[in-house]
């Protein structure tokens, strides 16, 4: 064997020896999949055992519905810009009104804050609720409240014929359900509405605040 061949053999043996030795060592690592505790000398951390009973999962699905259903029911996206116009118009609001600080003027001037689509620049509408969008939407509801109350008084809301928002006793359930798009509600909402009216400095201001708060609770994911 030449000197070069001898050196090559020695180097190869020195490289392979540790590999062979390690392969013969017993595996001392913890292979128990249920043991997930960490330690100061390892790079792991404690994991909580969050496994749920299949019977508990079945009960949850029976009560709440399957995940794809609950994702739609509890998802929180803002109404689209043109949908908001339809909601306001359906409640008797003139969205074409350009008077200063009117609901129509705030709606038209709030296009960007409300995430309206910019079709010429191929920018889709932002369907996520933002802080600026929520603030602008509540401002619009607050400004629209007197118009909506007048529409209830005149019984001119086609989607809710004969619905009453306020009477001598305070807030009415039929008017609240009309604001919520026909969704059945409970007497607790009526009580909160009455508290809002009674807590205001004047009845008129309190009624406007109640209408705006109900609309905001329904359309701003609150």
Residue 127 to residues 56, 76, 115, 176, 214: CA-CA distances in angstroms?
34, 9, 7, 26, 21
The rounded distance, in Å, linking the Cα atoms of 146 and 143 is 7
Band of residue 146 on the pLDDT scale cut at 50, 70, 90 = very high
70 or 99, greater pLDDT: 99
Matching residue, tokens 């910019």:
118
- Does the pLDDT at position 77 exceed 70? yes
- Does the pLDDT at position 26 exceed 70? no
Give me the pLDDT at residue 42, please.
53
Band of residue 10 on the pLDDT scale cut at 50, 70, 90 = very low
pLDDT (mean) for 114-124: 88
String of DSSP letters for 151-200:
HHHHT--TTSTT--SEETTEE-HHHHHHHTTS----HHHHHHHHHHHHHS
126 or 22, greater pLDDT: 126
- Does the pLDDT at position 92 exceed 80? yes
Q: What is the mean pLDDT of the chain?
A: 81
Share of the chain above pLDDT 90, in %: 45
The rounded distance, in Å, linking the Cα atoms of 206 and 195 is 9
Give me the pLDDT at residue 11, please.
46
Helix, strand or coil, per DSSP, at residue 140 = helix
34 or 102, greater pLDDT: 102
What is this structure's pTM?
A: 0.65
pLDDT per residue as tens digits for the range 32-50: 555 555 555 555 555 555 6
Pairing of strands 166-167, 170-171: antiparallel
The rounded distance, in Å, linking the Cα atoms of 167 and 175 is 10
pLDDT per residue as tens digits for the range 152-183: 999 999 889 889 999 998 999 999 999 988 88
Band of residue 57 on the pLDDT scale cut at 50, 70, 90 = confident
pLDDT (mean) for 123-128: 86
**Phi then psi for 170, rounded to 5 degrees?**
120, -145
Give me the pLDDT at residue 1, please.
54
């Amino acid at each position: 064997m030449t000197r070069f061949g001898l050196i090559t053999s020695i180097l190869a043996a020195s490289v392979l020896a540790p590999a062979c030795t390690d392969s013969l060592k017993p595996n001392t690592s913890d292979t128990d999949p249920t043991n997930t505790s960490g330690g100061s000398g390892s790079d792991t951390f404690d994991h909580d055992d969050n496994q749920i009973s299949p019977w508990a999962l079945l009960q949850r699905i029976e009560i709440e519905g399957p995940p794809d259903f609950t994702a739609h029911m509890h998802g929180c996206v803002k109404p689209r810009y043109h949908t908001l116009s339809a909601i306001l118009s359906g409640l008797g609001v003139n969205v074409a009104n350009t008077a200063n600080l009117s609901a129509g003027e705030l709606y038209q001037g709030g296009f960007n804050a409300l995430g309206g689509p910019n079709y010429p620049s191929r920018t889709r509408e932002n369907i996520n609720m933002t802080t600026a969008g929520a603030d602008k939407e509540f401002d619009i509801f607050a400004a629209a409240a007197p118009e909506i109350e007048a529409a209830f008084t005149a019984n001119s809301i086609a989607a809710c014929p004969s619905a009453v928002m306020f009477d001598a006793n305070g807030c009415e359930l039929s008017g609240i359900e009309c604001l919520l798009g026909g969704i059945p509600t409970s007497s607790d909402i009526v009580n909160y509405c009455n508290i809002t009216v009674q807590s205001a400095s004047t009845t008129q201001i309190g009624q406007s605040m109640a209408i705006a708060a109900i609309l905001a609770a329904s359309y701003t994911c609150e």
